Structure 1
Amino acid sequence: MKNLKKTRRIQILAVAGVALALSTALIGYGMRDGINFFRAPSQVLAEPPKPGEVFRLGGLVETGTLVRGQGEEITFKVTDGGASVPVKFTGVLPDLFGEGKGMVGTGEMQGETFIAREILAKHDENYMPKEVTDALKEQGVYRDPAKPEG
């Protein structure tokens, strides 16, 4: 009787271990395309992404580069103060999107141009995504909007 209980306990633990390993593998497989790493323009130029790699690009929209094309096609450059990356986007931009404003786009590189699938803009005059703020601080061009210039 004791041997049967011990065997049953070992079987239950083995099945639970296999179930845990299988669920972990399925979660990892399901999330493989859902993780997008953030990069600043300087990082993109220093270490170009692999072809087809989806990532997030963030920085400030460079002044004088915003060009609206045919239909919903928009091109502009994103800068972190150290480098600029041309961006092409087809779609409707957020209302707060504009030159000199912070943005984060999700997409991939095609040649030297970042093809954005989604564009996010800052949502008020003081907010900027943490990744963009960190990248601008790294380049030495970040200005704190709460502190007056001078």
Structure 2
Amino acid sequence: MGQEFNVVRCFSCCVFQSHQVRKDKKFVCKMCGERQSVRKEYGRGSGKDCRVHVQKLNTLRRSMEEGREAELEARLEEGYAAALEGQEEEEEGFPPHTGWQEASEGGHGGSGGSVGGASQVSKWAKYLSSDSEEEEEEGKDLRHTRAPATERRHY
């Protein structure tokens, strides 16, 4: 009677591997060295059977990753082509179409955003006091100033 092996997958590097069956149900990844517990067995059997199964699972995983990469590259190329078209439109005098402009100009109160590509005022501008704007213009960095002792909180 030979030893029994199981097929497991590493959570960190996502590689399928075969390991001897242990009582404590823990293993160390052969690729990245992470110690982890067995969450799911993808197969169990002799060493040879498990190695063949691991090879099939890893080649399947790799082909799926290549398909995802090809899909992402196609999306990026489409996005790049759309960005180039947007630059051409901008040169012709049309503002580029972006989703955030629609949201700010849409039916959400109508207070934010502008029409026709004029300069936009930040939504946060109404919350800023004129004193803080003057201090920014003077070049003071407010992040490094300390609050008075009465305003500090001690936990």
**Scaled by the length of structure 1, what TM-score is found?**
0.30
Q: Which has the larger radius of gyration?
A: 2
Larger strand proportion, structure 1 or 2? 1
Larger helix proportion, structure 1 or 2? 2
Higher RCO, 1 or 2 (CA under 8 Å, sep at least 6)?
Answer: 1
